[in-house]
């Protein structure tokens, strides 16, 4: 049986056109039968028992493996690991396959420019001529942005996954969602725009960011247009609340916001969520995704972990050193296998994002989709400092433990000389609110709390509000939490 999602297998355009017209380039009925739209999804596969879901995942994994053996990137990877086609009989055997990382993708694209062997088609030019395709990149917070091609299935899933999450979280037709992010090479704004516009009957207010639409204008538009839902990063949501108060003299709670979809990071104590919910007067839901997968996990109304999007992908958590699976509750690298990707397929991609499965039990919302904890940082952003592993994101609880801070910080690793010997140091730069009043005792409090949380004595440098905006990339994108100044690291990179 031919794959209805591959080029050339979709129904022909009316009138005999041979152009790759988007609405006719895919068998949409087959796509939605496989990946139901939000309200159908919420009442069907989202509530399936775990056993039935596992059967579906196994079936889709075996389909994916057939495509994998036809892909030159995976054939070479698996050959080096001594894997033969008969070695993988189902999802239980996935641990036999080697993982790969962004470094492997970077090398692949350097050796076979511009997109590497991973796309999987003998003639990529021919693919592009017959299938609508979009180029997106990773955020680049840990290195040079990585190119990812999205064919029509991958691009449409990005919107559908986001729409499913928003629907489960409470978004409904007629809502108005403000999206203060730029439709650029990053996925974020595109995904939420299409989710609202294409699948939910929601008006997306794509306001952009920065000089395009300054914070004051963002708030003015929200009040003028009756915005009742938002998508943005926590750092910018805090900035917007401040701008509303200081520049317009209005409490952000006056918007009567229905909900906020955001990316909380390692807010394991709930401090950041509580602060946002207090300021905005509405529920705040955490989400997780990447450039390759789109929307990978989301919170439901219960807020007891993020449901993995299990009908479209399979997640593992592997020990960062041994690369072996770890049990629920233990932290490791998230590794994803994405069932729906045809162009640039993903089979055991080590994201190097730290996470853990919090439970495999059915949720009170009715779903059996496994749940993961908040995003806990990146294993490749770890700092080895005087024999101690330090993850910059682990500073969050300490930094936000004192209301005088803005909650923003950036770690700076560097080398100094003490008594003629080099010594590695870590300084945590922390922003202080303009209205904080006295800074007395704040530095000492933060140093003590950070030493307790990190297991290492670090320096603290206090900065006035706004001083870290540029260096930490505060705004619409992912915040940068580590500045690596050590000579050995600089030479390496």
Q: What is the mean pLDDT of each run of 10 residues along the chain (493 residues)?
A: 64 77 92 98 98 98 96 96 96 98 90 90 80 85 76 96 99 99 92 98 94 93 98 92 96 98 89 94 97 96 98 97 95 97 96 95 98 89 78 88 92 85 89 93 95 91 90 71 79 51
Question: Is the bond into 436 cis (omega within 30 degrees of 0)?
Answer: no
pLDDT of amino acid 1: 44
Residue 378: alpha-carbon gap to chain centroid: 12
pLDDT of amino acid 90: 97
Note the CATH number of domain 382-492: 3.30.300.30
Contact predicate 30/5, CB 8 Å: yes
Taking domain 38-377, whether its CATH number is 3.40.50.12780 is answered by: yes
Delimit the CATH 3.40.50.12780 region(s) of the chain: 38-377
Delimit the CATH 3.30.300.30 region(s) of the chain: 382-492
The tokens describing 116, both together, are 């590497």
Secondary structure of the chain as H, E, C letters: CCCCCCCCCCCCCHHHCCCCCHHHCCCHHHHHHHCCCHHHHHHCHHHCCHHHHHHHHHHHHHHHHHHHHCCHHHHHHHHHCCCCHHHCCCHHHHHHCCCECHHHHHHHHHHCCCCCCCCCCCCHHHHHHHCCCEEEECCCCCCCCCEEEECHHHHHHHHHHHHHHHHHHCCCCCCEEECCCCCCCCCHHHHHHHHHHHHHCCEEECCCCCCCCCHHHHHHHHHHHCCCEEECCHHHHHHHHHHHHHHCCCCHHHHCCCEEEECCCCCCCCHHHHHHHHHHCCCEEEEEEECCCEEEEEECCCCCCEEECCCCEEEEEECCCCCCECCCCCCEEEEEEECCCCCCCEEEEEEEEEECEEECCCCCCCCCCCEECCCCCEHHHCEEECCEEECHHHHHHHHCCCCCEEEEEEEEEEEEEECCEEEEEEEEEEEECCCCCCCCCHHHHHHHHHHHHHCCCCEEEEEECCCCCCCCCCCCCCCCCEEECCHHHHHHC
Q: How far apart are CA 361 and CA 368, in angstroms?
A: 7
- Strand pairing partners for 100? 349
> For the chain, what's the residue count?
493
pLDDT of amino acid 15: 78
**For strand 176-178 and strand 147-150, is the pairing parallel, antiparallel, or unpaired?**
unpaired
Residue 14: alpha-carbon gap to chain centroid: 38
The tokens describing 106, both together, are 């970077």
């Amino acid at each position: 049986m031919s794959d209805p999602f591959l080029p050339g297998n979709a129904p022909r355009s009316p009138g005999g056109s041979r152009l790759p017209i988007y609405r006719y380039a895919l068998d949409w009925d087959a796509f939605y039968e496989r990946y139901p739209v939000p309200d159908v999804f919420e009442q069907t596969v989202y509530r399936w028992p775990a056993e039935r879901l596992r059967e579906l995942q196994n079936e889709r994994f075996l389909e994916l493996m057939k495509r994998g053996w036809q892909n030159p990137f995976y054939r070479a990877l698996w050959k080096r690991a001594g894997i033969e086609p008969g070695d993988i009989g189902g999802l239980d055997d996935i641990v036999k396959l080697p993982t790969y990382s962004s470094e492997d993708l970077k090398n692949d694209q350097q050796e076979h420019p511009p997109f590497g062997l991973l796309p999987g088609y003998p003639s990529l030019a021919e693919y592009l001529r017959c299938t609508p395709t979009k180029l997106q990149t990773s955020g680049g917070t840990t290195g040079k942005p990585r190119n990812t091609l999205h064919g029509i299935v991958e691009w449409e899933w990005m919107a559908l996954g986001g729409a499913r999450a928003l629907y489960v979280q409470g978004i409904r037709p007629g809502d108005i969602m403000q999206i203060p992010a730029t439709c650029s090479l990053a996925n974020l704004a595109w995904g939420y725009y299409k989710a609202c516009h294409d699948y939910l009957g929601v008006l997306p207010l794509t306001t952009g960011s920065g000089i395009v639409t300054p914070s004051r204008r963002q708030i003015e538009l929200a009040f003028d247009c009756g915005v009742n839902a938002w998508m943005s990063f926590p750092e910018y949501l805090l900035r917007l609340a401040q701008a509303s108060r200081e520049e317009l003299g209005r409490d952000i709670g006056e918007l009567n916001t229905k909900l906020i979809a955001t990316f909380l990071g390692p807010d394991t104590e709930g401090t950041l969520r509580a602060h946002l919910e207090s300021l905005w007067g509405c529920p705040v839901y955490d989400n997780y995704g990447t450039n390759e997968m789109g929307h990978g996990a989301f919170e439901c109304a219960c807020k007891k972990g993020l449901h993995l999007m299990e009908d479209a992908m399979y997640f593992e958590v592997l020990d960062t050193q041994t690369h072996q699976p770890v049990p629920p509750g233990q932290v490791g690298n998230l590794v994803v296998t994405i069932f729906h990707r045809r162009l640039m397929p993903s089979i055991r991609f080590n994201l190097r994002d730290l996470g853990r499965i919090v439970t495999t039990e059915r949720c009170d919302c009715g779903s059996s989709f496994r749940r993961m904890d908040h995003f806990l940082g990146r294993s490749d952003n770890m700092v080895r400092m005087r024999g101690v592993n330090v993850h910059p994101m682990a500073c969050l609880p300490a930094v936000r433990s004192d209301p005088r801070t803005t909650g923003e910080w950036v770690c700076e690793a560097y080398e100094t000389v003490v008594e003629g010997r080099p010594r590695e140091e870590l300084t945590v730069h922390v922003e202080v609110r303009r209205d904080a009043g006295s800074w007395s005792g704040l530095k000492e409090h933060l140093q003590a709390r950070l030493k307790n949380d990190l297991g290492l004595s670090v320096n603290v440098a206090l900065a006035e509000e706004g001083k870290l905006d540029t260096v930490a990339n505060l705004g619409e994108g992912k915040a940068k939490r580590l500045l690596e100044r050590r000579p050995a690291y600089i030479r390496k990179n």
